[in-house]
Amino acid sequence: MAEPQRLQKLLAQQGLASRRQVEAWIMAGRIRVNGAVVTELGYKADPEQDHIEVDGQRIKFSRDPVRHVLLLHKPVGVLSTCADPWGRKTVLDLLPEPWHSQIRLYPVGRLDADSSGALLLSDDGDLTLKLTHPRYHLPKTYRVQVQGQPSQTTLQHWRDGVDLEGYTTLPAEVERCPAPDFFKRSNPEGSWLRVVLFEGRNRQIRRVAERLGHPVLALHREAIGPLRLGNLKPGQFRQLEPHWIQALLAPFPQR
C-alpha cells in the first residue's frame, strides 16, 4: 500500500492540473473519494486503494507518470492559457496531435497576448509549481523595445528596482542592444533593451517601463534560464530532453 498523499499533490503529479487548480476543484466540490465529496484541502488519499473521481470520471494513476515539457515560441496574438471563453487562439491550439488533446499540458507561467517568445508547457504540476514560485529566481531574458531614448539614470533606476504599488522590484539586468533579426518592422522612435528578470510578477516589464516614462512597444522573451529558442520559429516547439529539465531545476542564486 502506498503512503497516503494530499489530493492536490496526487492529481498534479498525474498532469491533470497545477496544485492550485486542484485546490480550486476541491473547494468547488468537484472531487470525490470513494463516493464522498471532498472539500478539505488537507485530505489525503491512497491512489492504490482509494477510488478518486474528478467531475464523475475516475482517475487512473500511473506508478511512474511521464513528465512532458515543451519549449514553445509563442507568437503575438496567442493567449497563454488552455482555453478561452471568447474562442480566441490559445497556445494549445498551436500543438498537433497527440499534444493537443491526449496529453494534458498547461502553460508554466505566462506571456501576455501582445508579447512573443519562449514559453514552457508541461503536464507536471510539481515542476510548474517550483518554476513559478516567487522564491525560485529563475532568470528570464527579454528583448524589449521601449518608446523614446531612456537615459543612463533611468536604466540604472530600472536595474536597482522600481516601486510598483508599494512593492520594489528585485534588481534586474538592463542593457541597450540591437533589434532582434526577426523584427522586420522596428519602430524608429524606440530603443531596444535586453532585460533579465529574476522574478515573474504580472506584466512587470510593461509596468516598470510605463512608470519610467518609456512604454513598451514590443516585447520578446528569448530565454528561460538556460533554455533559448534557437531556430524555433513562431508557433514551433520542441520537447525537452531530461537533461534540459534538470538544468531548469538547478538552483539559481538568490537576488
Task: Give the Cβ contact number of residue 224 at 10 Å.
Answer: 21
Catalytic residue among 46, 50, 112, 126: 112
The β-bridge relationship of strands 190-197 and 116-122 is: unpaired
Helices (H) then strands (E): counts for the chain? 6, 17
Residue 112: active-site member: yes
Q: Can you give 174-209 as a three-state secondary structure string?
A: EEECCCCCCCCCCCCCEEEEEEEECCCCCCHHHHHH
Number of residues assigned to the chain = 255
Contact 109, 119 (CB under 8 A): yes
Mark 20-57 as b/e (b = at least 16 C-beta within 10 Å): ebbbebbeeebbbbeeeebeeeeeebebeeeebbbeee
Contact 130, 251 (CB under 8 A): no
Burial class of residue 118 in the structure, from the number of CB atoms within 10 Å of its CB (0-12 exposed, 13-18 middle, 19+ buried): buried
Positions annotated as catalytic residues are 112
